[in-house]
Structure 1
Amino acid sequence: MAIEDIHEFVTELEKKGELKRVKTEVDSNLEIAEILRREMYSNGPAVLFENVKNYDMPVLGNAFGSMKRLEIGLEMTDFTEIGQRIVDMTKMDMPSGFLNKIKKLPELSKMAESFPKLESSGPVTEITSNDASFDKLPILKSWPNDAGRFITLGLVATKHPETGVRNLGVYRMQIIDSTHAMMHWQKHKRGAQHGEISKERGEKISAAVIIGCEPATVFSSIAPVPEGLDKYLFAGITRKKGIKTVKCKTIDLEVPANAEIVLEGYVDPHDIRDEGPFGDHTGYYTPIEPYPTFTLTGIMRRKNPIYVTTVVGKPILEDAYIGKVIEQSFLPLIRMFHPEVVDFSMPASGWFQGFAIISIKKRYPGQAKKVMMGLWGMGQLALTKMFVVVDEDINVHDINDVIWAITTRADAARDTTIINNTPTDTLDPASPMVNLGSKLGIDATQKIREEGYQREIQQLVKVDNETKNLVDSKWSSYGL
């Protein structure tokens, strides 16, 4: 059975020794964040703070901070399944004729099971209030020089103003007062695109901030899904079961029925204020920059909600593990467009957008550069600043193997590609301008004569099979 909400997830984590409860009083101002960082840096468990100073609501952190916890939450161990389901759906032929439709019913019913289902009510509608305020939520201040308290794991729901396709994105929100917060959606994000379209139409855009959802919906909100794919449908594809939704009370949006808290409101594109600084996942404070304002109009919540949060800073913290699931789950989609790709890795220390390694089955000259250019044209990968392409015999998840390939198969002048004036991640502290910088590509594949390699390819050092088999057969007798 799919996990339906955060409460079930907490129960499962506790059963498997992946959660600790803290009953000592803790402060949402800096203290909780420091505890969570220490636990993450030491590979500790998820933490449920049951006694938060000045609040009657428990705080859950580090809930997704290990591969084991994500396996529990998403109920799978092979995350490539997620992308493969999307690939299979795109290849599915719609049947014609009564007999063919009958034959296809099992496949079509599986697809239908992934669609969201609108309900009249749900746990999140137990308490509703138009007299809404941020003040009753234990929103954290994470770093000493942060501009204030920030919502860090709010799933921001918006709807494309023209197509109606729904999006979920995680954008940090700086609290200004009891009913206003800054919406830090960067230019390249889908929520910001929805906001820009609304601005062009002379409208404010409705937005709902969802705090505390079952793991598949949280993952879906962070995942860079293909353009036009409804995020609620993607959540259903991920968990093999459609999520239940309910209508908001003060705005025209649907939200997960099993959420803990929903903050309803709108983003005014003309109400621009300074946001930041904020200690971010690059390991640096992002500077003060202008962003639009979110105005709170209503709250829906459970009677006894859990406030779910995350802390970011210099890697490796909780977001790194979600990034590894994204990396694995989207490999089938990458292969759909680039069949030569064998494997793909975005090392956690590169904060997702900084660095990626791709292994390919090389068949022709220039193929590594072709793959780089193709991936830089794929959605959020357009923001990745450095690509290294290696041969299929290199393990992309072993940085030592990758460094060996770079130093033995790449020539600096021949195999380095630099492209200037390209889109960059807004948070990149190295870019000379915000949102604009350069790309670096390293072709660390073995070069062939068609690529100008004039030497004989040197033979790899490998053990012979006879010696390998001999040592294998006698290994236990060595006493090692």
Structure 2
Amino acid sequence: MYENTRQFVSALERAGELKRISARVSPVLEITALADRESKSPAPSLPSEATRRTDPRFCHLGGRALLCESVEGSDIPVLINQFGSYRRMEMALGCDSGGPALRAGPGSESRATKGLEALALRLGHLIKPEPPPTLLAKLRKLPELFELARIPPRKVRGAGTCQQVVIRGDDIDLTRLPLLRCWPLDGDLGALGYPADINDRVPGIGHGPEWEDRCRGRYITLGGIHTIHADDREHPNPPSRNIGMYRVQLLGRRIMAMHWHMHHDGARHWRSWKARGEKMPVAIVLGGESVLPYAATAPMPPGISELLLAGFLNRGGIPLCRGVTVPLDVPANAEIVIEGYVSYEAGMPGFDPRTAGADLGPGAVFEGPFGDHTGFYSLPDRYPILEVTAITHQRDPIYPTTVVGLPPQEDYFMGKATERLFLPLLRTIIHDVVDYDLPMFGAFHNCAFLKVRKEYPLQARRVMHSVWGAGQMAWTKTIVVVDDDVDVHDTAAVLRAIGERCLPGRDTELVRGPLDILDHAAPFLGAGGKMGLDATRKRGDAEEHPAHLSLNPLAAELCAAAPVGPALGDAARAAEARLRTIEGVLDARIPDELGGCWLLLRAAPGARGDAVIKAIGALAEDIALPPWTVVVGPDADLANLDDALFHWMANTAPDRDRSLSKCGRRVAFDATPKRPGETINGLPVRDWPPILRMTEAVRTRVSRGMAESPR
């Protein structure tokens, strides 16, 4: 770990993990195009052996961190993709091969180790400490207790390094910061069918052709948002200190839009200030200790500050100084801090200006759209205004940022670090879990694979419901539970286990509950169906009785005589040829590596997925087809399994888009784009966003500039 961003940049450069871009680049789309291409390229070096074992297919990706030294419209260089590989994540957290070996502590696996596994062992030891049995053991534990005592943040006297330059009042101009427009439609309300001028009457909002060209849709994307609960407003050391990583949209020289989801701690804090009728102080922190950005993304339990996790990872408390215009403490070693107040007057999200009588109301703006980590644009909605009261920064600061989109991006490696570090906590909460994996195609909240050591019937269902009640994993849309003989980090192995051990009508758990706000396929904002697949071996009538085969009690009697796969080899190729003759089908694949149990179809533009599924059902009366079918839209690539699965997870609502055969042995999912406003199986379809695509003109311009820039 490193004390500040500059130290981390120097270390990355020494390790061959940084590339300087000397050519002049624009923060409008061009830096995104550079980073997107880099993140999908091979990284200069591999991570620790343990990390390679848990992500063997993608551990080599990530390219290099990029330092853009000449950015149009700003004097500040831009650092991007700094955490965009496993090796760089391990460097940032101080557990790479060049760092000190770590020990889990006495009474557990105490071998010296490196990588994310090392931190997971240390964290697990703290979560589940064993009382020292002897006096000698107690003495040996003293260094650990001393280390814990150093974790809390510590206040520094006077100004912090982040306050070498202070800008206030009319001198504030957020447009001088190199905030990125990441994707072409970011901030373009009209392109998605919303009134383009809805924010024009808000005081301080920029508009007009020049603003549209230079500043529309630019965001802070790697800022730690520091907040406290209103009840702690007079507390010298607020116990509710929270750091969240939320996007913040540029709207004027001193005006921004604060976007947070209703279940985030920052939004909960805002509601506490709203209840008091007082504007909420916030500080947006960019840079600082290399552990800070990761800590801001970590799913900490309620009441435990991310600053404590940062102190644990940093091997010492994060130094804080007092903000210059807000009653908050901020990391003293940050590169840039933006201080301000969030309006309490704004109404809640769920606002549509196209409805009759819609009133945006005071203190709010219509924020978005924004190209998000889901791979699609998140749709615009009402969020509160942030009025900036000060910008402070180091002399000659560096602006750290990131881009999210179709994986892998920088956030993939940060999320996988969380997967590894929080395994001990998950196992403490749910003792059945041996290991788990958040596959790339699931974009974190859409899918989770869990491995259990099965000991009794229906254990997998217990695990599913436990996960749906476990912190931020509560938003997981699809859970797959497998036995401990399945490699949970091998997607093909998990899908084979589903095909071999999971009967669709019998072994699927459907529930309703909260979902990620960004799930555009959900029938309601932040709410809808979830699905659990029990891919474990079954035990006795409690799991295998024919009456359980379908949600229909008469399923056993209705079971059709139609053959059910798997289809392999020549039989699979023949079936694919027949399937490609179906109207509206562009391609069909039955991948042999999935055991012949999965059928993937790509529908033509405008084709209805439910019509394709109906045609497949008719064909299944003549030939054996796999039990699991997924119909995706024209944007998907069936030759790339991860891409096909990404579209399945992103574009499906399990309670609306799942078609189960009468016999309960075959299921099909309609993962095609839906038509907004229609009703399917009694559930609505909301506005459907476009998938993220960079313009060809920007790609060409960036490629030409890169050719002129030395590596």
Cα separation, partners in 2 of 1:207 and 1:94, compared to 1, 3 Å: farther
2:88 counterpart (69, 85, 105): 69
1:114 corresponds in structure 2 to: 151
2:522 counterpart (428, 431, 440): 431
DSSP-derived class of the 1:390 partner: strand
C-alpha distance in structure 1 between counterparts of 2:180 and 2:314, whole Å: 30
C-alpha distance in structure 2 between counterparts of 1:338 and 1:288, whole Å: 37
RMSD, aligned α-carbons: 2.0
1:14 corresponds in structure 2 to: 13
- Higher-RCO chain (CA-CA 8 Å, sequence separation at least 6): 1
1:338-417 equivalences under 5 Å are 338-417=430-509
1:182-193 equivalences under 5 Å are 182-193=257-268
C-alpha distance in structure 2 between counterparts of 1:107 and 1:398, whole Å: 36
CA contact (8 A) 1:185 1:192 kept: yes
1:159-170 equivalences under 5 Å are 159-162=228-231, 164=238, 165-170=240-245
**For structure 1, which segment, 166-175 or 68-77, has the greater mean C-alpha deviation from structure 2 after superposition?**
68-77
1:27 corresponds in structure 2 to: 26
Cα separation, partners in 2 of 1:414 and 1:252, compared to 1, 3 Å: same
1:198 lines up with 2:265 in the alignment? no
1:133 corresponds in structure 2 to: 173
1:456-475 equivalences under 5 Å are none
Cα separation, partners in 2 of 1:113 and 1:151, compared to 1, 3 Å: same
CA contact (8 A) 1:79 1:325 kept: yes
C-alpha distance in structure 2 between counterparts of 1:101 and 1:37, whole Å: 51
1:234-313 equivalences under 5 Å are 234-270=309-345, 271-313=363-405
1:123 lines up with 2:161 in the alignment? yes
TM-aligned CA deviation for residue 42 of structure 1: 2.3
AA aligned to 2:433 is V
- Could you list the runs of 5+ residues in structure 1 that have no partner in the other structure? 456-480
AA aligned to 1:144 is P
1:464 corresponds in structure 2 to: none
C-alpha distance in structure 2 between counterparts of 1:254 and 1:377, whole Å: 33
C-alpha distance in structure 1 between counterparts of 2:423 and 2:469, whole Å: 16
AA aligned to 2:78 is V
1:310-355 superposed Cα distances (whole Å, 9 cap, x missing partner):
0111122111111100111110000111122111111122111110
C-alpha distance in structure 2 between counterparts of 1:91 and 1:324, whole Å: 22
1:150 lines up with 2:169 in the alignment? no
CA contact (8 A) 2:20 2:69 kept: yes
DSSP-derived class of the 1:53 partner: coil
TM-aligned CA deviation for residue 100 of structure 1: 11
- Higher-Rg structure is 2
AA aligned to 1:179 is R
1:220 counterpart (290, 295, 300): 295
TM-aligned CA deviation for residue 65 of structure 1: 0.6
1:177 lines up with 2:177 in the alignment? no
C-alpha distance in structure 2 between counterparts of 1:29 and 1:244, whole Å: 34
C-alpha distance in structure 2 between counterparts of 1:101 and 1:122, whole Å: 38
C-alpha distance in structure 1 between counterparts of 2:118 and 2:256, whole Å: 37
AA aligned to 1:199 is K
Cα separation, partners in 2 of 1:107 and 1:175, compared to 1, 3 Å: same
1:57 lines up with 2:76 in the alignment? yes
AA aligned to 2:175 is D
C-alpha distance in structure 1 between counterparts of 2:494 and 2:391, whole Å: 49
C-alpha distance in structure 1 between counterparts of 2:424 and 2:310, whole Å: 17
Paired residues, what number? Answer: 451
DSSP-derived class of the 2:292 partner: helix
DSSP-derived class of the 1:4 partner: coil
C-alpha distance in structure 2 between counterparts of 1:83 and 1:224, whole Å: 14
DSSP-derived class of the 1:233 partner: helix
1:75-111 superposed Cα distances (whole Å, 9 cap, x missing partner):
114324445544433445899xx99997754332110
C-alpha distance in structure 2 between counterparts of 1:425 and 1:199, whole Å: 23
CA contact (8 A) 1:199 1:269 kept: yes
TM-aligned CA deviation for residue 273 of structure 1: 1.1
AA aligned to 1:36 is A
Cα separation, partners in 2 of 1:336 and 1:264, compared to 1, 3 Å: same
1:475 corresponds in structure 2 to: none
TM-aligned CA deviation for residue 159 of structure 1: 1.1
Cα separation, partners in 2 of 1:101 and 1:267, compared to 1, 3 Å: farther
C-alpha distance in structure 1 between counterparts of 2:542 and 2:483, whole Å: 15
AA aligned to 2:32 is A
CA contact (8 A) 1:85 1:237 kept: no
C-alpha distance in structure 1 between counterparts of 2:76 and 2:270, whole Å: 32
2:610 corresponds in structure 1 to: none
DSSP-derived class of the 1:314 partner: coil
DSSP-derived class of the 1:215 partner: coil
Cα separation, partners in 2 of 1:101 and 1:68, compared to 1, 3 Å: closer
1:424-451 superposed Cα distances (whole Å, 9 cap, x missing partner):
1111111111111111000111111153
Greater strand percent: which structure? 1
CA contact (8 A) 2:223 2:293 kept: no
1:4 corresponds in structure 2 to: 3
C-alpha distance in structure 1 between counterparts of 2:122 and 2:272, whole Å: 31
TM-aligned CA deviation for residue 63 of structure 1: 0.7
Cα separation, partners in 2 of 1:101 and 1:407, compared to 1, 3 Å: closer
C-alpha distance in structure 2 between counterparts of 1:310 and 1:355, whole Å: 23
**For structure 1, which segment, 130-139 or 298-307, has the greater mean C-alpha deviation from structure 2 after superposition?**
130-139
C-alpha distance in structure 2 between counterparts of 1:384 and 1:55, whole Å: 40
CA contact (8 A) 1:278 1:285 kept: yes
2:672 corresponds in structure 1 to: none
CA contact (8 A) 2:123 2:421 kept: no
C-alpha distance in structure 1 between counterparts of 2:490 and 2:287, whole Å: 34
TM-aligned CA deviation for residue 40 of structure 1: 1.2
TM-aligned CA deviation for residue 160 of structure 1: 2.2
C-alpha distance in structure 2 between counterparts of 1:224 and 1:32, whole Å: 29
1:471 corresponds in structure 2 to: none
DSSP-derived class of the 1:414 partner: coil
1:466 corresponds in structure 2 to: none
TM-aligned CA deviation for residue 23 of structure 1: 0.6
AA aligned to 1:130 is R
C-alpha distance in structure 1 between counterparts of 2:128 and 2:409, whole Å: 37
Identity of counterpart residues, as a percentage?
41
Cα separation, partners in 2 of 1:102 and 1:405, compared to 1, 3 Å: closer
DSSP-derived class of the 1:111 partner: helix
Cα separation, partners in 2 of 1:91 and 1:284, compared to 1, 3 Å: closer
CA contact (8 A) 1:30 1:143 kept: yes
1:194-234 superposed Cα distances (whole Å, 9 cap, x missing partner):
10111112221111001112221111000111111111111
CA contact (8 A) 2:457 2:543 kept: no
